[in-house]
Amino acid sequence: MEYDYSALNRRPTKIEVENLENRYALSNAVSGGLAQLVLLIIGVIMIVLMVQVVSNAKTVEAAVIGGLVVGGFIAGIVGMFVAMRMHKRNLAKLLAFTDANKARLILNYRNPGYSGLIFDEGSSREISSAIVFPDGKELGNFKYVTGSGRNRSTRQWGYMRVPLVRRLPHMVLDAKANNILRSRFSNLPDALGGNVVVSLEGNFNDFFTLYVPKGYETDALYVFTPDVMAAIIDHGTMYDIEVVDDAVYFYAHNSHKLTSEAHIKKMLSIVQAISSELLAQSDYYADYRVENRTINRIDSAGRRLKSRIGIGTIIGTIILVLFYMAWEILPLFFSDN
């Protein structure tokens, strides 16, 4: 399907910006009203302070240093102001694009409740922005928080969600190209080693590790035919792919550029090439363990893979702990007391 991308390639109009503010309950940090006023007041105060510092300095060096410090604060405030305005304009462009193409824009949607691996991780789960196209495909960015205090960090994912006609067993294709240091250690949030690893024909296993529930090896071979595997190798080797319930997810380890025409076209092309083959092959799938095919249900044994904390999460936690120890404890050994 062809889409109209013109809204992404021009400056949004004032009406489009107002449309964004009226249709979405944006915080002042996004809409910019109160926040911009506060930044303006702080900026004026800092300018007055800089004048006083320079005029009261006893030496030229002190005046220069004082001016640079205060000027740095002012530059930071101006940068924040510009970033807020740019963010709002980008959202307005995105809304204009979705309206022009009968799509739907999702903003700041907490706890979406999707079945994918990344969607039940951490806390403060949120789809920061996503486009739902008329055919149900969804391109978006998801984030969640892990840890607390000094160890608190935010994990960002780009994802693409494609609805399926039939429910399928839970299966994950762990891409080897994006593993930690391109090693056998997956960067997926959950470790899946307690499941069956299915070896597929050709060189597919050089690119992906396929995890399936125990007893569903034959089902996986039914779904991942040579045509499906060829499409995945040709287009999706940089993405982890998950089939769960009646949807397939493609995970990227960077946020999607939703205001980029080129990026949207690229992702839609990748997903279309893979999902069309997958949809065609899975259209008549039925779990023989469920007697009535019309129910469109997967037996409990194949509904979810077994999972535990992933090695990537463990390594990340260790790094944060070591950083904290270096920051808090090592100075004690070098103190004068």
Side-chain-facing half-sphere of 121: CA atoms under 13 Å: 25
Res 101 pLDDT > 80: yes
Integer Cα distance of 163 and 135 in angstroms: 9
Nearest CA-CA partner of 136 in 310, 300, 336, 279? 279
Taking only the tens place, the pLDDT of each residue in 202-221 is 999 999 999 999 999 999 99
CB 251 within 8 A of CB 240: yes
CB 98 within 8 A of CB 20: no
Taking only the tens place, the pLDDT of each residue in 131-180 is 999 999 999 999 999 988 888 899 999 999 999 999 999 999 999 998 87
CB 198 within 8 A of CB 285: no
Integer Cα distance of 43 and 78 in angstroms: 8
Average pLDDT of every residue of the chain: 84
Answer with the residue of higher pLDDT: 313 or 246: 246
Torsion of CA 237, 242, 248, 250, to 10 degrees: -40
Integer Cα distance of 316 and 122 in angstroms: 13
Which residues lie below 8 Å from residue 25, measured CB to CB, with a gap of 6+? none
What number is the average pLDDT over the span 30-43? 59
What number is the average pLDDT over the span 278-302? 92
* Domain locations along the chain: 6-100, 105-317
Res 50 pLDDT > 90: no
